[in-house]
Chains A and B, each alone.
Chain A
């Protein structure tokens, strides 16, 4: 006669009775409906967001004349909405710098098709930066640095292209920034050395070398 313990052991053999895994899975689907494996990915809202992110990412490296360039510009414009008024000149200078970088890339590659749109973009952005500077009239060290950066890029590109980005005689950021700085320093009390640098900067300004003037003016504020 078996012991009770042995009986219980025998009973536990029946634990091996199990449904087929395949059937378990299919049956669940039958009852609850198909469960997509990566289910969030098929939800319209998520898919839409993913699409936007992909396009956004693709637009980063696009250049004027390329498919996602417009989106890149729109995104950049979108970013400016949240920028406070006093930061605008800085931002516009940054954007102008970007446009010049793009133009420089295109010029290097000698990508003729994209050249015209890129030059236009660069012109527009420089004009925009100028406009903002006129509006704000405020100039700080960062703006000066960005302006100098812009000027340098502009000169490089103009050399490669053999044409000017900004028309002669029109106000450009470098001239404006230099002008404002000079005005600003003239209203301040300066040391003898600083006064001398200012005079030198004014000479450069009169001669039309606004970049050089700005570089000198930067040394006064330091």
Chain B
């Protein structure tokens, strides 16, 4: 058992930050991200230590569990990732407080917001390739695509994000103009 624990401990150390960040970018709450990250590793450990089924690709397994948990979370909370057209930002989670909101500085918040508006595949491709720096093959596996198709997807994702960021800037300028 000790050998398994040691092995898993290494896996935990390698992926905990990545999984946390992945979840945070989707749920926008430190507390929820912590809960779901914890749950992700707990479930993975349960499967890992039994060795049945044997986890072939731990990284993929972790991300899949995380994605499932995020889906469950939104389903339970009875909300989709809808952006209110009037407010221009996601409905705040009641658990969120001012403290949590200041985890990100304003620039980071801007990018996070823009990212959250993209299709899930685009979001994931960007997170996995540029933030988690996973090899292209691994990103392709996670997206269930070929490597060339994944490269195309990533390129499109960047373009889409650029557009969102640009629109944001325009929106901000518009608001400033209107308020004057």
Contact residues of A with B, CB < 8 Å?
1-2, 4, 7-8, 10-19, 23-24, 27-28, 30-33, 35
Contacts and interface: CB of A to CB of B under 8 A. Distances in A.
The main secondary structure of chain A at its interface with chain B is helix
Interface in B42-69: 42, 45
B161 A11 contact: yes
A31 B41 contact: yes
A26 to B, nearest CB: 10
A11 B25 contact: no
Contacts of B162: 1-2, 4, 7
- The secondary-structure label for the interface of chain B is helix
B158 A1 contact: no
Interface of B: 5, 8-9, 12, 16-17, 20-21, 24-25, 33-34, 37-38, 41-42, 45, 103-104, 107-108, 111-112, 115, 126, 130-131, 158-159, 161-162, 165-166
A2 to B, nearest CB: 6
Contacts, number: 80
Given A2-B165, A7-B162, A28-B12, A23 B111 contact: no
A14 B166 contact: no
Contacts of B21: 14-15, 17-18
A8 B24 CA distance: 19
B111 A14 contact: yes
